[in-house]
Amino acid sequence: MDQASRILAKWAGASETGHELVTHERLAVGAWKKAVGKRLADRARAIKLVRDRLVVGVDDEIWQKNLWGLRYQILRNLEAAIGPGIVASVEFRIIPQRIEPQRALSLLPVDEADLIRDPGMRRIYRNSRRRETA
């Protein structure tokens, strides 16, 4: 409970300066990473709080089933982080992570000699390659 009071105090200071008010949803979503750990939080993302149910997006059905088995432990960790009564249950929904747009690779062939950083070694490599093909 001590930790929840520190979180509330920090956010209460932010609300005095004109930022958003502290909500139960913000507390629950913010405490998710602490409750499950960094590695698990990368694969299961807390999305929103609907009444007293925390909705968590997971990548696939395997993650959904495995986390369902851990739900009571996760709820205990959330309660320890933000206090009792805010999150009563957890729902795991399959919501794959969005893949960001990526830059297209060049269609031009890459000369392996360009990967050599030292200009002298790069020249020696190209000359030796030329001699072998001649």
What domain range is 81 assigned to?
2-94
Look at residue 102 in the predicted model and tell me its pLDDT. 77
Cβ–Cβ < 8 Å for 61, 92? no
Look at residue 125 in the predicted model and tell me its pLDDT. 92
* 127 lies in some domain: yes
Whether residues 48 and 83 fall in one domain: yes
Burial of residue 43 (number of CB atoms within 10 Å: 0-12, 13-18, 19+): middle
Whether residues 67 and 20 fall in one domain: yes
Whether residues 10 and 50 fall in one domain: yes
Whether residues 55 and 119 fall in one domain: no
Look at residue 130 in the predicted model and tell me its pLDDT. 87
Look at residue 10 in the predicted model and tell me its pLDDT. 60
Q: Could you tell me which residues are beta bridge partners of residue 45?
A: 57
Q: Which mean pLDDT values do the consecutive 10-residue runs of the chain (134 residues) have? A: 62 47 85 92 92 94 94 95 92 87 71 88 91 79
Q: Provide DSSP, 47-66.
A: EEEETTEEEEEESSHHHHHH
Please give the model's pTM, rounded to 2 decimal places.
Answer: 0.59
* 22 lies in some domain: yes
* 99 lies in some domain: no
Structure tokens at 110: 């890459």
Burial of residue 36 (number of CB atoms within 10 Å: 0-12, 13-18, 19+): buried
Give the number of domains in the chain. 2
Whether residues 85 and 109 fall in one domain: no
Whether residues 74 and 126 fall in one domain: no
**The dihedral sign for the CA sequence 127, 128, 133, 134:** positive
Look at residue 20 in the predicted model and tell me its pLDDT. 46
Whether residues 7 and 46 fall in one domain: yes
Look at residue 9 in the predicted model and tell me its pLDDT. 59
Q: Quick one: which of 83, 90, 88 has its CA closest to 52? A: 88
